[in-house]
Amino acid sequence: MNYPVWDIPASGLLIAAIAVLHVFVSHFAVGGGLYLVLLERKARRNEDGPLLDFAKRLSRFFILLTLVFGAITGVGIWFVIGLVHPQATSSLINTFVWGWAIEWTFFFVEIAAAMVYYYGWDRLPARTHMAVGWIYAFAAWMSLVVINGILAYMLTPGAWTLTRGFWDGFFNETYWPALVARTFVAAGLAGLFAIWVASWVPDRSLKARIARDAAWRWVLPMAVAIPLSLAWYLSAAAGAGVPVAEVFGARDGSLAALLSAVFSTGLATGHPVAQRAAWWVMVAAVALTLLTLLLAAARSRSFGRPFAALLLVLGLVAMGGSEWVREGLRKPWVIGQYMFVNALRLPAPDGVPAPPEAFVERFGADRFTLDAVNASGVMKASSWVRPVPAHLLSPDAYAARAEHQGRELFRVLCSACHTIDGYQAIRPLVRGRSPESLAGVIGRLASPVDAAGNASAWNVLPVHVKTWRNRRMPPFAGTDEELQLLAAYLALVGGADPSALGPPAPSDDVGKAYYDTNCAACHASDGVAPFDPGGRTPAEFYEMIGRLPGINEMMPAFEGTEAQRKALAEHLASLPGKTPTGGAR
Amino acid sequence: MIPAIPQPDPLALPAPAWFLWALLLLLFFLHLIPMNLVLGGSIIGAIARVRGRRPDRPHEARLAHIVVKAMPVLISVTVTFGVATLLFLQVLYGRLFFASAVVMGWWWLSVIGLLILTYYAAYLLAMRESSLGAAATILAWLVAALAGTIALIYSNNMTLMLKPAEMVALYAADGSGVQLNLLDRSLLPRHLHMVLGAMAVGGLAIAVLGVVRRKHDEAFGLWAVRYGAFICTAATVVNIFAGLWWLAALPRDVLLQFMGRDMRATGELLAGILLTLTGAGHTVLAATGKRPGVMVTISAVTLLAGIAMMLLTRDTIRRISLELAGFQTVNWVAPQWGPIVIFLALLVAAVGTVVWMTRALVIARPGRQP
C-alpha cells in the first residue's frame, strides 16, 4: 500500500509465467555451457568431425535461446516483480544491490563469452576456443551461485532478520541444498536440450550416439541426484522453520507422509496450490525418467522431434512445478520473517538495527508494519487507495460503502493472491457466508506462535505463523471497522442481500454471536462441515466445547468466557439439523 | 495529507549515495553509447538499405550489411549495461521508479516482449540477410521501429517518475497499468532529442568505420567518412532545435535553473552544446579530406565528452524536478564494504577477461580453425 497495486487480476500469474520460462532456459544456460565445452573437447580429442559439427549447431541454438530469450526474460522477471511486488523488490534491491552487481559481472562475462564462442568457431585456435567455452561455463554457473543466495534468502532469510547483514541473508539455511539442486537441474536440462537438438540430426548413427550419451550421462543420473538434493532442501527448509508438512497438509515432515499428502485428494488443510504443483512435479518427473530410459534403451536411433519435445515439456512442468512449490512454501511471506505477500512488514523486533533519528525525522516512523496499519487503517496509510466519497459515510449507505471500501481493502490486502472469479477465486469461498462468519475468519487468518505452538508476538523472532486451516494466509491488517467492511464486501461478493447489510451491532444473543464469528465459517450448512446437533443437550455441548481440538484437530480451542461457553452450548442445542444457519442468502 | 512519494524501506542505503550516483551515471553512459548505435544505427541502416537498392549506390548497400551484422552484438551490449544502470537507478530512486512503472504497468512490461522481438529480428537479419529478399528491408525497419518504441516507453517512465502528484492522479483514473505520460509537454521533445542524438552518434560511428576501413578499401572508407559526417552534422544541427524545444517545455522553475540561476546546471548545458557542436564540426572537417583520421578522433572525443555533459544535464533536470516535488535522499547509510570490494575486484577481472576474449576474436582470421 506504500506503492500502487497493479490493478489486474492474478498479477502473480504473470510472474509465474515469465519466471517458469526463464528458469527453464537459464538453468539450461548454466548446464548447457558445460555440456558444450565437454562435447567440443570430446569431438576434438577423437577428431570426430560430425560431433564437432553438432557442437556448432548446438551452440547456435544455445545462443539464440539463452542470450536472447533467457537473458531478456531474466530482465523480465525483474520488471514484473517490480510491478507486482514493488515493496518487496525495493527491499531486495536495497539489501542485495551488491549481490546483483556481483552477479552482473558474471553475466557480462557470460554474454561476451557466449558471443565469442559462437563467432569464434571458425576463427579462434582450438585451445582459445575451448578456453572461452570454459570461461562461459564458469561465469554462467557463478551467476547461479550468486542469484541462488537471493532466491534462497526469500524463503529462509537466516540471521539477516536480526542483523540486516548482507552475508547473513545470503548464506542462509537453504543456500547450499538449493545450489546443489539447481546445479543438478542445470545438468539435466543440458541433456534434455541436447536430445532436442539431436532430434533434428538426419544422421541416425550420430543422433543415437548423442541421445544415448545425453540420456545416460546427463539426464538419468539427475533423476536420482535431484530428488535427493530436494529432500535435503526440504529438510533444511523445515529446520529453518518453514512449515513444510503444514503446507502439504501432511501428518508430519517425513518423506512418506509428504508423498502421501501430495497424492491425497481433497485435503482440508494446507496450501492447495503448492499441493497441486507438487503432484505435477512428481508425475512429470517420473514420466520424464521413464521416457528417457525408453529413449536410451530402445529408441535412440528412431526418436523424432515430437518425442524430444515431449521430454522438454515434461522437464518444463517438473521444473516450473518445483518453483511453484518453493513459492508455496514461502507463503504467507514474500520475504521470510520480514514481509508478507501483501507488502506488510512485521514490526521491527528488538535488536534489529533501527533507523537513526535523522531518518525518522525526515521520513517519519514506518507506516507499513502490521502494527502501524492496524492503528492507522489501510485507507489512511496509503495515497494509492480511492478515498470513500462522503455520501457513503452515513450508516444508511453501509452496503454501498462496503462495496467501495471493501473493494479497495480487497485490492490492497488480498489481490496479490486472490481474484474474484479467476485464479484462487474468492467468490466460491465466500458464497452464502454472513458478514459475521467472514469477519470471524478474517480475524483469525494468521497469528504468531513460537516453535512449540504457543501464542507469541509478531515482533518476537523467529515468527511461526499459525494460519487458518493451514492455508498460509497473512494476517488481516487494518482497523476493526475495516475488517467489518471487508467482511461485508466479501459477503456481497458471495451473494448477500445489500439491503440486509448494516453496521455490525452488538447482539443480544451471546451464543449466536459467538457461533457466527467463530464457528459458522466451517459449520454453516454449506460449509466444509455442516453442523448437526444430533439431539445433544446444552450440557453435552458445554462439555464438548472444552475439548474441541480433541474432537477434531482442525478445530481451535475455545477461547471465550464462561458466559459465552454456556450461551454457545444453548445456541448449538437450539440449532436445527443440517439447515442453513446464520449467513446472508 | 498522505505524501505521494512512497516511504523508503526501513533499511540503510548499502553504499554512500554519491558512490551509487557515480556508478549510475557511469553505467548509463556506457549503456547510452551502444543504445544510440542500436537506435540511430538501425534507422540509418534501414535508410541505407532502401537507398542501396540502386546499383549506383553500392556503398550504402554495404553499410546496411555492416549494420545488420553488428546489430545483435550492439543490442547485447546495450542490454548488458542497461541492466546495471537500472539496478542503481532503483537503489537511488526506486520509490519513484516502481510507482511510475506500476502506473504504466502493461507498457513497461511490454518492453520485454518488444526487446525479444527486436533481438530475434536482428538475429534473423544477421543470419539470413541474403536469403530474405524484400523481407530484409521490412525487418530492418521493424528493428528501428521497435528500438524507437522501447526508447519512447523508457522516456515515459523516466519523465513520469519525476512527477509524483501526477502519478497518483493517473493511477486514480485507471490503475490497470495502461496510462502513459503523454500529457507531459517535455516528453516528445525529450524523445526527439534522444533519437536525433542517437542518429548523430550513429553518424559518428560510420565516420569512424570509414577511417578504419579506408586503409583496405579507400573508396568505401572515404565515402563512409563523408556519409557519417553528413548524418552526424545534420542530426546535431536539427537537434539544437529539438533541445531548445525540450528546454522550453520544462517546467518554469526547472528551466530557470539552466538560465543562470544554478551555475552548475547552466555550465553543464553550455559545455554540452559546445562540445557536441565541436564534435559535429570536426566530422565536417574530416569529410573535406584533410587528415580524416585525426579529425574523426577529435570529433569522437569531443562528442563523447558532450554526451557526458548532456547526461549531467539530464541528471540535473531530475535532481531539480525531484527537489521541487519534495523528494529527499535516504539519509541512513551503512555501506556493505565487503560486497562492494568484491564487486569492484570482479569488475576489473570481468573487463580483463572480456577484453582478452574480444581481442582474441578480433585478431584471429576467419577460417584459421578448426
Q: What does the pLDDT look like over B307-354, one tens digit per residue?
A: 999 999 999 999 999 999 999 999 999 999 999 999 999 999 999 999
Within an 8 Å CB–CB cutoff, is residue B219 touching chain A?
no
Is residue A386's pLDDT more than 70?
yes
Minimum CA–CA partner of A67 in chain B: B76
Q: How far, CA to CA in Å, does B369 sit from each of A126, A172, A377, B355?
A: 7, 46, 70, 21
C-alpha–C-alpha distance, residues B95 and B15, integer Å:
17
Residue B225 or residue B365, greater confidence: B225
Is residue A526's pLDDT more than 70?
no
| CB-CB under 8 Å, B87 with A93 | yes
Of B145, B125, B131, the closest CA to residue B64 belongs to B125
Q: Which of B166, B361, B368 to mutate to test the interface with A (most CBs of A within 10 A)?
A: B361
Instruction: Give pLDDT, residue A186.
Output: 97
| CB-CB under 8 Å, B354 with A106 | no
Mean pLDDT of chain B: 94
Minimum CA–CA partner of A52 in chain B: B370
Is residue B356's pLDDT more than 50?
yes
Residue A155 or residue A253, greater confidence: A155
Instruction: Give pLDDT, residue A266.
Output: 61
Work out the percent of chain A whose per-residue pLDDT is above 90. Answer: 71
- Residue spans per domain, chain B: 11-180, 185-329
Give residues 93 to 132 of B whose Cβ lies within 8 Å of A.
94-95, 97-99, 101-103, 105, 108-109, 111-112, 115-116, 119-120, 123
With contact defined as beta carbons under 8 Å apart, do A391 and B32 qualify?
no
Name chain A contacts of B174, Cβ cutoff 8 Å.
7
C-alpha–C-alpha distance, residues B190 and B242, integer Å:
8
Name chain B contacts of A102, Cβ cutoff 8 Å.
339, 342-343, 346
Is residue A580's pLDDT more than 60?
no
Is residue B143's pLDDT more than 90?
yes
pLDDT tens-digit map of A286-327: 999 999 999 999 989 999 999 999 999 999 999 999 999 999
Of A195, A210, A206, A204, the closest CA to residue A291 belongs to A195
Tell me the whole-structure pTM to 2 decimals. 0.92
Joined together, the cell numbers standing for residue A495 give 451473494
With contact defined as beta carbons under 8 Å apart, do A100 and A108 qualify?
no
C-alpha–C-alpha distance, residues B234 and B300, integer Å:
16
Joined together, the cell numbers standing for residue A326 give 518453493
State the nearest Cα–Cα gap between A13 and chain B, in angstroms.
Answer: 14
Q: How far, CA to CA in Å, does A257 sit from each of A231, A237, A245, A270?
A: 13, 16, 8, 13
pLDDT tier at A256, thresholds 50, 70, 90: confident
Name chain B contacts of A7, Cβ cutoff 8 Å.
174-177
The backbone torsions φ and ψ at residue A449, rounded to the nearest 5 degrees and listed phi first, read -135, 165
Of B156, B104, B153, B205, the closest CA to residue A82 belongs to B104
Average pLDDT score over residue span A430-450? 89
The DSSP result for B208-229, as a single string, is: HHHHHHTTT-HHHHHHHHHHHH
Q: Which of A1, A102, A171, A357 to mutate to test the interface with B (most CBs of B within 10 A)?
A: A102
Angle, helices B292-325/B17-51, rounded to nearest 10 degrees: 130
Give the DSSP H or E segment for A448: strand A446-449
Instruction: Give pLDDT, residue A585.
Output: 31
Instruction: Give pLDDT, residue A555.
Output: 80
pLDDT tens-digit map of A59-108: 999 999 999 999 999 999 999 999 999 999 999 999 999 999 999 999 99
Instruction: Give pLDDT, residue B2.
Output: 73
Is residue A162's pLDDT more than 50?
yes
C-alpha–C-alpha distance, residues A502 and B361, integer Å:
76
The DSSP result for B284-295, as a single string, is: HHHHTTSSHHHH
- The domains found in chain A, sorted by start residue, are 11-222+282-340 (1.20.1630), 357-505 (no CATH), 509-585 (1.10.760.10)
Give the DSSP H or E segment for A446: strand A446-449
pLDDT tier at A527, thresholds 50, 70, 90: low
Is residue B1's pLDDT more than 90?
no
pLDDT tens-digit map of A100-120: 999 999 999 999 999 999 999
Instruction: Give pLDDT, residue A134.
Output: 98
State the nearest Cα–Cα gap between B98 and chain A, in angstroms.
Answer: 6
Is residue A492's pLDDT more than 70?
yes
Name chain B contacts of A45, Cβ cutoff 8 Å.
none
Q: For residue B35, which amino acid is it? A: M
CA A293-A296-A301 angle, 5° bins: 140
pLDDT tier at A530, thresholds 50, 70, 90: confident
Mean pLDDT of chain A: 91
Average pLDDT score over residue span B264-286? 92
Is residue B367's pLDDT more than 70?
no
Joined together, the cell numbers standing for residue A514 give 459467538
> How many beta-carbon contacts under 8 Å exist across A and B?
236
State the nearest Cα–Cα gap between A300 and chain B, in angstroms.
Answer: 29
Percent helix / strand / coil, chain A, rounded to 5: 65, 5, 30
| CB-CB under 8 Å, B343 with A8 | no
Q: For residue B91, which amino acid is it? A: V
- What is the Cα gyration radius of chain A? 28
Checking A459-468 for CB contacts under 8 A at 24+ apart, the result is A459/A346, A459/A347, A459/A348, A459/A349, A459/A350, A460/A349, A461/A161, A461/A162, A461/A337, A461/A349, A462/A161, A462/A241, A462/A337, A463/A337, A463/A346, A464/A241, A464/A243, A465/A243, A465/A332, A467/A332, A468/A441, A468/A444
| CB-CB under 8 Å, A380 with B84 | no
C-alpha–C-alpha distance, residues A271 and A419, integer Å:
16
- Say whether A233 sits in a helix, a strand or coil: helix
Name chain B contacts of A99, Cβ cutoff 8 Å.
339
- Cell numbers 454457545 correspond to what residue? A568
State the nearest Cα–Cα gap between B121 and chain A, in angstroms.
Answer: 11
Range with the poorest average pLDDT among A20-24, A249-253, A287-291, B260-264: A249-253
With contact defined as beta carbons under 8 Å apart, do B222 and B214 qualify?
yes
